[in-house]
């Protein structure tokens, strides 16, 4: 049959057809529709900080943009000084030394690195353990690489940490993806969990992919652990970090991977075939961020802790029983009484209170029964959200 314009049809690839709509895009669409109607929407959906990037970082970027030497293709592995500063920051924070040439690799945001890594280490039909609920971006990259994803439910009864005994029962596992401090549950990992997981990884040859984008967003002085602090971790683990949450740099798109040299090399080989590195002026700004006075990050934590305490106390005052997050800027809460599921709850919040909240089921089946709300709006807006919920609920 001769192909004509009438019978020629362009379709998405099967791998795209298998993916559900990206959760946060759909939420943003619903929010924009409500705002277009002139409604005063309080956005507690997407975790995008409302604070501006610190001035000294912006200034460093402006000066770097003026320098023509930064206008060319960037080095794939990033500026040596950037990798060295990452190493200094990491050692200061976690007391772990990293080889800046073999164990650190800058990224165009940690999300990008997490998306590219599976192509370097996962073969079609390899089994990969993925906690449920989980940040939605993990699943597509694993699916694109051909992985067979095995969901590992994490429950409140175990502080949203995988049960090591149950993990040991899985067979022929290539890798596991973990994320602590956790999005969406705000849980943190214990040393005992990391030690047990590393032991299991050594015994069964499992690669550990650890996302630690929220490493510096913690409360009450309880610093989250890096898995690389645990003996033997570098044999089996790669960890991802981000400038986004620590320095209010979500739009700048910069992060890094660190850990096992072979895993770093695999990621680097994929990236050299997909991109040409981070705009060098952004790297210069990243160096300025890493050199920031400790007060910069402490002010960020103080800001979120004040919001956390205000919001949690407000929600409790209207009868909503909620466990305060230990880290991240997320509040993970069971849906209020009278609602059947998380989608119904989130829809009602928007329609009746003009509040955007993320349905827990969007993070996985085990997230059903919860909603996630962010602390990335002012205290006045959080107070207003509580007042609206009081009337509504």
DSSP 8-class letter at 224: P
Could you please report the per-residue DSSP string of 149-207?
A: EEEEE--GGGTT---HHHHTT--SEEEEEEESS-TTT-----HHHHHHHHHHHHHHT-E
Instruction: Using alpha carbons, list the distances in angstroms from residue 187 to 155, 162, 170, 178, 217.
Output: 10, 11, 23, 11, 12
Report the Cα 19 to chain-centroid distance in Å.
Answer: 19
Other beta carbons less than 10 A from residue 72's beta carbon: 9
Query: Does the pLDDT at position 336 exceed 90?
Result: yes
Confidence of residue 392 (pLDDT cuts 50, 70, 90): confident
Residue 332 · residue 370 · CB < 8 Å: yes
Are the folds of 14-52+295-392 and 55-290 the same? no
Structure tokens at 154: 């994490």
Query: Does the pLDDT at position 4 exceed 70?
Result: no
What CATH fold (topology level) applies to the domain 14-52+295-392?
3.90.1150
Among 22-26, 76-80, 169-173, 240-244, the minimum mean pLDDT is found in 22-26
Query: Does the pLDDT at position 20 exceed 80?
Result: no
pLDDT the model gives residue 2: 63
pLDDT the model gives residue 35: 80
Q: What are phi and psi of 371, to 5 degrees?
A: -130, 150
The stretch 372-388 carries a mean pLDDT of 97
pLDDT tens-place string over residues 268-320: 999 999 999 999 999 999 999 999 999 999 999 999 999 999 999 999 999 99
pLDDT tens-place string over residues 119-159: 999 999 999 999 999 999 999 999 999 999 999 999 999 99
User: Higher-confidence residue: 67 or 30?
Assistant: 67
Confidence of residue 91 (pLDDT cuts 50, 70, 90): very high
Spell out the residues 6+ positions from residue 233 whose beta carbon is closer than 8 angstroms to its own. 194, 198, 208, 227, 259
The stretch 82-101 carries a mean pLDDT of 98
Query: Does the pLDDT at position 384 exceed 90?
Result: yes
pLDDT the model gives residue 22: 67
* Residue-range domain boundaries for the chain: 14-52+295-392, 55-290
Confidence of residue 8 (pLDDT cuts 50, 70, 90): confident
Confidence of residue 190 (pLDDT cuts 50, 70, 90): very high
Residue 237: exposure state from Cβ atoms within 10 A (0-12, 13-18, ≥19):
buried
Confidence of residue 3 (pLDDT cuts 50, 70, 90): low
pLDDT the model gives residue 38: 86
Of residues 300, 285, 231, 218, the one with CA closest to residue 254: 285
Q: Which residues pair with 240 in a beta bridge?
A: 211, 257
CA distance 389 to 383: 10
Among 27-41, 87-101, 164-178, 287-301, the minimum mean pLDDT is found in 27-41
Q: Which residues pair with 130 in a beta bridge?
A: 151, 177
Q: What are phi and psi of 387, to 5 degrees?
A: -65, -40
Other beta carbons less than 10 A from residue 6's beta carbon: 6
CA distance 116 to 268: 9
The stretch 327-331 carries a mean pLDDT of 97
pLDDT tens-place string over residues 21-55: 766 677 777 778 878 888 899 999 988 899 999 99
pTM of the shown model: 0.94
CA distance 78 to 66: 19
Query: Does the pLDDT at position 1 exceed 60?
Result: no
Of residues 259, 260, 251, 280, the one with CA closest to residue 109: 251
DSSP 8-class letter at 243: S
Query: Does the pLDDT at position 380 exceed 70?
Result: yes
Of residues 341, 334, 330, the one with CA closest to residue 320: 334
pLDDT the model gives residue 75: 77
User: Higher-confidence residue: 357 or 9?
Assistant: 357
Q: What are phi and psi of 32, to 5 degrees?
A: -65, -35
Is the bond leading into 174 cis (omega within 30 degrees of zero)? no
CA distance 23 to 362: 6
pLDDT tens-place string over residues 52-63: 999 999 999 999
Other beta carbons less than 10 A from residue 85's beta carbon: 20
Report the chain's terminal Cα–Cα distance, integer Å: 62
Instruction: Using alpha carbons, list the distances in angstroms from residue 308 to 57, 187, 281, 327, 353.
Output: 26, 15, 34, 10, 20
CATH 3.30.750.24 fits 55-290, yes or no: no
DSSP 8-class letter at 230: S
Mean pLDDT of all residues belonging to the chain? 94
């Amino acid at each position: 049959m001769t192909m004509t314009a009438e019978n020629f049809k362009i379709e998405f690839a099967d791998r795209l057809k298998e993916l559900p709509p990206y959760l946060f895009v759909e939420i943003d669409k619903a929010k924009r529709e409500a705002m277009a109607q002139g409604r005063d929407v309080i956005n507690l959906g997407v975790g995008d900080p409302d604070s501006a990037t610190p001035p000294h970082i912006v200034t460093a970027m402006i000066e770097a943009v003026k320098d023509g030497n930064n206008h060319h293709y960037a080095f794939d592995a990033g500026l040596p000084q950037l990798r060295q500063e990452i190493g200094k920051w990491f050692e200061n924070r976690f007391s772990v030394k990293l080889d800046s040439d073999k164990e650190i690799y800058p990224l165009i945001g940690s999300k990008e690195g997490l998306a590219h890594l599976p192509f370097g280490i996962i073969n079609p039909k390899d089994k990969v353990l993925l906690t449920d609920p989980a940040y939605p971006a993990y699943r597509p990259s694993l699916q694109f690489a051909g992985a067979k994803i095995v969901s590992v439910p994490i429950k409140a009864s175990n502080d949203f940490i995988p049960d090591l005994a149950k993990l040991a029962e899985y067979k022929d596992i290539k890798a596991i993806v973990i994320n602590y401090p956790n999005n969406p549950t705000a849980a943190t990992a214990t040393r005992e969990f990391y030690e047990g997981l590393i032991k299991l990884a050594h015994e069964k040859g499992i690669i550990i992919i650890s996302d630690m984008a929220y490493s510096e967003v913690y409360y009450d002085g309880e610093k989250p652990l890096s898995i690389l602090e645990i003996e033997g971790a570098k044999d089996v683990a790669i960890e991802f970090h981000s400038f986004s949450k620590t320095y209010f740099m979500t739009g700048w798109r910069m992060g890094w991977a660190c850990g096992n040299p072979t895993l770093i090399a695999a990621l680097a080989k994929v990236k050299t075939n997909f991109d040409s590195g981070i705009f060098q002026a952004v790297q210069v700004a990243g160096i300025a961020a890493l050199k920031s006075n400790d007060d910069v990050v402490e002010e960020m934590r103080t800001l979120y802790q004040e919001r956390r305490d205000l919001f949690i106390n407000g929600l409790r005052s209207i009868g909503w029983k909620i466990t305060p997050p230990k880290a991240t800027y997320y509040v993970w809460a069971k849906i209020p009484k009278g609602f059947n599921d998380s989608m119904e709850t989130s829809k009602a919040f928007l329609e009746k209170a003009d509040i955007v909240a993320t349905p827990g089921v969007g993070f996985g089946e085990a997230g059903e029964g919860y909603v996630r709300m962010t602390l990335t709006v002012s205290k006045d807006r959080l107070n207003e959200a509580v007042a609206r919920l009081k009337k509504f609920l």
